[in-house]
Structure 1
């Protein structure tokens, strides 16, 4: 019987035997794992037998979480990491080499943008293009292009990539298509549906949902032919080619680079994931209502939210996503101080985090995108007055009342 996502996540651990009949997979804190014979140990090291060799490459707790994420993304496998950025970095640094070329959306999370600059410093070519239009991605391709990287909904201006068009393009050209699904989560959208090769999720955000654990994941959809990818090391070119890419990401990203997810955080994230659907339904509904209310306020110049009919990619979002997400941003009219507005909020927390159960807000140009400088912020459509809001699950009336009293204090 096919189960809904929430039911499947709730009962995922019980698909295999759990120690002592526990309902949840227990937390395993061991770093070392012993075997009865040396040959058995060698077989695990060589990938001929399932098992754990050292805590840096994972443990039974993170393995259980990976199974849940694979279930959520309809993936053939997942590797978990200590943070979402560790997951993104592992994809780039384990699959690309000096002289390769990667095309990325220019509407990117600030830290990912910074990581791409690091890639350029070690000899990987990077081209940023407007991912809302697949022909612009196509125009940026070169003979040495290996990978295209996009986010589903851009943070903070909520541009929505041409996910279908880029997927068709990458499929025709044999390119690794990497989709960061953090802003939508697998509850609202599965990138496999548009041909993604790899899916990245920051588990810290909505999948965990409570702001108490860091984590990231890379999932392989099973759609990419790794036997044709030239950058797979000889050591991993054995057995079924379908597992080569993820094996290299795990070995180099965890064993070599040490971006390991702790057992404690894996346990918290797995527990938080059980209510992902419930939280996203509430947060998306709150975001839709709040965006409509903000758009009617005299101090607001513009509201950016895919659920609004005037959003440039509204129709695309409605077609692809179950709902429009829990992130919105808005610009204030000239003369309205974004710092004063934020300071007037009493319920909403001033914070840089996303996907929390609580509503969070931040002045974008002065904080998380400050390092980019005014020229790049302008190219990304980030105004100096832009306020980003990660909408939580509070009672909607309380959220609106908080913004209402804050605007009233500015006017008065």
Structure 2
């Protein structure tokens, strides 16, 4: 089959690749152990000389491998590793590729748990500097001789800030620094970080890719653009493999074999099914988010709206130039913050819950929940006000959503 479109490739990928008994989906392999007729083959799998074999489910199964192939295709990479959660993927990337004495530069605007993880890295002796990555020059100025990695998210949660993705990619390429981009909010349906020079692409599969709030998962994809032979932290035992494979091999061995953040076959199968409607869901939820953002921005009870699809957004130009849509994530604040709880409780369709990128619209007050532990100083630095409400737009009929917000906002007077 020749090169096909985004959704066609996902929907028919398993069947074309060949599956048991002609099934249109890969089966769920629940085996933990995998046997071999010849012990030489078992040895080859352990030593990495035999490709495509499995020895123990902690490092992968045929079902997770099928999902990895799909994600690799989506991100136009050379390989992918799946993890039990998105944070498992982020943590494994940092802990397997960074050492005490190394320096990491990150966008100041990152997921709350990722920000918390930076504290853990610092306790392990890794220096972390956070900057406003909206200007690549801020990243350049933060670099040191021991900087090994730059990390950003395509669209920040919850403030929707967008880094200078292209400019940062150029800086990292000039300096030979690994460029790690978390593509969770946009997903490959809206943006492919390889286009801006990303070395590794991280996705929380729980969110946009799976999309139904039914499975946890995460992934790391190597784009093939980074020269791992020049990266000082690759262990000697992995230097025996081709340079392009060394980064992912170390992440798999250390992140899955040693740390055990393994994705189950059952969850991998659920995620793979969810992927089939990825482009359709993202198109609808992005359209809903834009319509809601425009409605909220024009409402007399709303003080501020953060959404990259609005011309008022500081990085609107970047979003228009790089993304196929502005995603399902938006945040807003009422003029009368004291009525925030009343308004949220009055909403009938949005579910008052944490989580993101479900087919159903979700809403949560940010400061007293997901960023409560970060403290007021960190929240202020990240542009998170006490009255910020985060909204993850679903795929409901937009007229129903707007009608619901209209009735609830009457309480904000």
TM-score range, shorter chain: over 0.9
Quote the Cα distance in structure 2 between the aligned partners of 1:93 and 1:376.
Answer: 23
Give the 5 Å matches for 1:126-205: 126-205=128-207
1:228-307 equivalences under 5 Å are 228-307=230-309
Structure 1 residue aligned with 2:100: 98
Q: Distance in 2 between matches of 1:41 and 1:381?
A: 53
Partner of 2:211 in structure 1?
Answer: 209
Total equivalences in the alignment: 411
Please list the CA deviations of residues 75-126 of structure 1 after superposition, one character each: whole Å capped at 9, or x if unmatched. 1000000000000001000000000000000001000000011000010000
| 1:22 to 2:26 alignment | no
What is the match of residue 13 of structure 2? 12
1:397 aligned to which of 362, 382, 399 = 399
Deviation at 1:337, TM superposition (A): 2.1
Cα distance, 1:222 vs. partner?
0.0
2: CA distance, partners of 1:201 / 1:32: 28
The alignment status of 1:317 with 2:319, answered yes or no, reads yes
Preserved contact between residue 181 and residue 200 of structure 2 (Cα < 8 Å): yes
CA–CA separation in structure 2 for the residues paired with 1:316 and 1:292: 19
Contact 1:337 1:385 in 2 (8 A): no
1:354-381 alpha-carbon deviations (Å, 9 max, x no partner): 0100000000001000111111111111
Q: Please state whether the residue corresponding to 1:371 is helix, strand or coil.
A: coil
Structure 1 segments of 4+ aligned residues over 3 angstroms from their partners: none
Residue 379 of structure 2: aligned partner? 377
In the alignment, the residues of structure 2 paired with residue 126 and residue 14 of structure 1 have an alpha-carbon distance, to the nearest angstrom, of: 45
Q: Equivalent residue of 1:187, what SS?
A: coil
Shift of 1:17: 2.0
- Taking the aligned partners of 2:383 and 2:22, their CA distance within structure 1 comes to 53
- Deviations 1:268-308, CA, capped at 9 Å, x for gaps: 00000000000001000000110000001111110000000
8 Å contact from structure 2 (residues 224, 244) kept in 1: yes
User: Is 1:31 aligned with 2:37?
Assistant: no
Shift of 1:335: 4.6
Partner residue of 1:363 out of 345, 362, 365:
365
2:349–2:401 CA contact under 8 A, matched in 1:
yes
TM-score (norm 1): 0.99
What TM-score does the superposition give when structure 2 sets the normalisation length? 0.98
The worse-fitting range, judged by mean Cα deviation, of 333-342 and 59-68 is 333-342
Aligned residues of 1:299 and 1:336 also touching (Cα < 8 A): no
**CA distance, structure 2, for counterparts of residue 165 and residue 330 of structure 1:** 28
Structural RMSD (CA): 0.8
SS in structure 1 at match of 2:189: helix
In the alignment, structure 2 segments of 5+ residues that lack a partner are none
The separation in 2 between residues aligned to 1:319 and 1:304, in whole angstroms, is: 18
